[in-house]
Structure 1
Amino acid sequence: MGIAAMDILCCRITIGDADPSNPMRIQNGVEITEVQSLEINESYKKLIGTAKVIFPKGSVCRSTIIGNVTLEGKDVSRITTEVMQDGVIIEKRSAQRLVDETTFKVGQRINIKLGYNGVLKNMFDGYITGYNSDSTLEIQCENMAYKLKLKQAPHFETPAKGTTVNEVLEGKYNILKDTGFRIHSDTKRFEIHIGKVKVTDNFTVADILSEWSKYKVYCFLKYDADDDGAMPSIAVGRPYSSSKAQPVFPEDESTGPYRIYFNEHVAQSNLKVVKTDPKFLAVTGKALGTDEKFFEVTVRMNPEYDPEMPGSKEFQTVNATQISKKTHKVTGNTTASGAKTRTKVDLSTYTIVPYMSPHVGINSDRLVEETTEYFRNYNLNGITGNVTVFGDFGLSPAVQVELIDYRNPSKNGVYLVEEVTTTFGVGGYRQQLSIPYKIRK
Structure 2
Amino acid sequence: MAVNSLDVLCCRIEVGDADAANPMNIKSPIVLTEVLQIEISESYKQLIGTAKVTFPKGTVFQSTILGNTTPEGKDASRVTTEIMQDGVLIEKRTAQTQMTKDTFKIGQRINIKLGYNGLLKNMFDGYVTAYNSDSRFELQCENMAYKLKLKQAPKFETPVSGTKINDLLGEKYGLLKDTGFQIHGDTKKFDIEIGKIKITDNFTIADILSAWSKYKVYCFLKYDENSPDKMPAIAVGRPYSSSKSQPVFPGGQDTGPFQIRFNEHVAASELKVLKVDPKFLAVQGKALGIDEKFFEATVRLNPEYDPNNKDSKEFQTVNATQISKKTHKVTGNTTAEGADTKTKVDLSTYTIVPYMSPNMRIDSDKLVEETIEYFKNYNLNGITGSVTLFGDFGLTTAVQVELVDDRNPSKNGTYIVEEVTTTFGTGGYRQKITLPHKIKTITTYGDGKGNTGQ
TM over 0.5: same fold? Answer: yes
Q: Return 211-220 or 82-91, whichever deviates more.
A: 82-91
Q: Find the counterpart in structure 1 of residue 327 from structure 2.
A: none
**Given that residues 16 and 28 in structure 2 are in contact (C-alpha distance below 8 angstroms), is that contact kept between their aligned partners in structure 1?**
yes
**Given that residues 294 and 322 in structure 1 are in contact (C-alpha distance below 8 angstroms), is that contact kept between their aligned partners in structure 2?**
no
C-alpha deviation, 1:356, in angstroms: 2.0
Do structure 1's residue 306 and structure 2's residue 306 form an aligned pair?
yes
Write the mapping of 1:318-337 to structure 2, written as runs, cut at 5 A.
318-322=318-322, 335-337=335-337
Q: Find the counterpart in structure 1 of residue 408 from structure 2.
A: 408
Give CA deviations for 1:278-331 in whole Å, capped at 9, x if unaligned: 22111111222222332111111222223333233222111111488xxxxxxx
Do structure 1's residue 423 and structure 2's residue 434 form an aligned pair?
no
**Given that residues 322 and 335 in structure 2 are in contact (C-alpha distance below 8 angstroms), is that contact kept between their aligned partners in structure 1?**
no
Q: Find the counterpart in structure 2 of residue 399 from structure 1.
A: 399
User: 1:252 and 1:439, CA in 2 relative to 1: closer, same or farther beyond 3 A?
Assistant: farther
**Given that residues 83 and 89 in structure 2 are in contact (C-alpha distance below 8 angstroms), is that contact kept between their aligned partners in structure 1?**
yes
User: Helix, strand or coil for the counterpart of 1:349?
Assistant: coil
Distance 1:310 1:110 in 2: 66
Code of the aligned partner of 1:345: V
User: Helix, strand or coil for the counterpart of 1:15?
Assistant: strand
Q: Find the counterpart in structure 2 of residue 161 from structure 1.
A: 161
C-alpha deviation, 1:192, in angstroms: 1.6
Q: Find the counterpart in structure 1 of residue 347 from structure 2.
A: 347
**Given that residues 39 and 424 in structure 1 are in contact (C-alpha distance below 8 angstroms), is that contact kept between their aligned partners in structure 2?**
yes
User: 1:209 and 1:162, CA in 2 relative to 1: closer, same or farther beyond 3 A?
Assistant: same
Code of the aligned partner of 1:222: K
**Given that residues 242 and 357 in structure 2 are in contact (C-alpha distance below 8 angstroms), is that contact kept between their aligned partners in structure 1?**
no
Do structure 1's residue 124 and structure 2's residue 124 form an aligned pair?
yes
Q: Find the counterpart in structure 1 of residue 57 from structure 2.
A: 57
Write the mapping of 1:12-411 to structure 2, written as runs, cut at 5 A.
12-66=12-66, 70=68, 72-74=69-71, 75-77=74-76, 78-83=78-83, 89-161=89-161, 163-224=163-224, 230-241=230-241, 244-252=244-252, 256-322=256-322, 335-337=335-337, 339-411=339-411
What is the number of residues matched between the two proteins? 430
**Given that residues 421 and 431 in structure 2 are in contact (C-alpha distance below 8 angstroms), is that contact kept between their aligned partners in structure 1?**
yes
Give CA deviations for 1:376-415 in whole Å, capped at 9, x if unaligned: 2222211122100000000000001111111111111111
Q: Return 241-250 or 42-51, whichever deviates more.
A: 241-250
C-alpha deviation, 1:245, in angstroms: 1.6
Give CA deviations for 1:232-251 in whole Å, capped at 9, x if unaligned: 11111112159652342112
Distance 2:334 2:54 in 1: 57
Distance 1:183 1:339 in 2: 40
Distance 1:282 1:179 in 2: 43
C-alpha deviation, 1:21, in angstroms: 1.6
**Given that residues 152 and 205 in structure 1 are in contact (C-alpha distance below 8 angstroms), is that contact kept between their aligned partners in structure 2?**
yes
User: Helix, strand or coil for the counterpart of 1:115?
Assistant: strand
**Given that residues 398 and 418 in structure 2 are in contact (C-alpha distance below 8 angstroms), is that contact kept between their aligned partners in structure 1?**
yes
User: 1:114 and 1:243, CA in 2 relative to 1: closer, same or farther beyond 3 A?
Assistant: same
Distance 2:133 2:225 in 1: 34
Give CA deviations for 1:342-362 in whole Å, capped at 9, x if unaligned: 342211111111222233322
Q: Return 182-191 or 43-52, whichever deviates more.
A: 182-191
User: Helix, strand or coil for the counterpart of 2:438?
Assistant: strand
Code of the aligned partner of 1:271: L
**Given that residues 57 and 136 in structure 2 are in contact (C-alpha distance below 8 angstroms), is that contact kept between their aligned partners in structure 1?**
yes
User: Helix, strand or coil for the counterpart of 1:389?
Assistant: strand
Distance 1:226 1:6 in 2: 36
Distance 2:227 2:160 in 1: 41
Distance 1:30 1:15 in 2: 5
Give CA deviations for 1:211-239 in whole Å, capped at 9, x if unaligned: 11122111011114698960011111112
Q: Return 197-206 or 417-426, whichever deviates more.
A: 197-206
Distance 1:188 1:32 in 2: 38
User: 1:369 and 1:112, CA in 2 relative to 1: closer, same or farther beyond 3 A?
Assistant: same
**Given that residues 128 and 139 in structure 1 are in contact (C-alpha distance below 8 angstroms), is that contact kept between their aligned partners in structure 2?**
yes
Distance 1:226 1:270 in 2: 37
Q: Return 263-272 or 190-199, whichever deviates more.
A: 190-199
**Given that residues 405 and 412 in structure 1 are in contact (C-alpha distance below 8 angstroms), is that contact kept between their aligned partners in structure 2?**
yes
**Given that residues 25 and 229 in structure 1 are in contact (C-alpha distance below 8 angstroms), is that contact kept between their aligned partners in structure 2?**
no
Which runs of no fewer than 5 residues in structure 2 stay unpaired?
Answer: 325-332, 442-454
**Given that residues 132 and 139 in structure 2 are in contact (C-alpha distance below 8 angstroms), is that contact kept between their aligned partners in structure 1?**
yes
C-alpha deviation, 1:157, in angstroms: 1.2
Overall identity of the aligned pairs, in %: 71
Q: CA RMSD in A?
A: 2.4
Distance 1:232 1:10 in 2: 24
Q: TM-score, normalised to structure 1's length?
A: 0.91
C-alpha deviation, 1:141, in angstroms: 0.2
Code of the aligned partner of 2:281: L
Q: Find the counterpart in structure 2 of residue 327 from structure 1.
A: none
Distance 2:388 2:228 in 1: 26
User: Helix, strand or coil for the counterpart of 2:210?
Assistant: helix
Q: Return 225-234 or 370-379, whichever deviates more.
A: 225-234
User: Helix, strand or coil for the counterpart of 1:437?
Assistant: coil
User: Helix, strand or coil for the counterpart of 1:263?
Assistant: helix
Distance 2:2 2:439 in 1: 44
C-alpha deviation, 1:338, in angstroms: 5.4
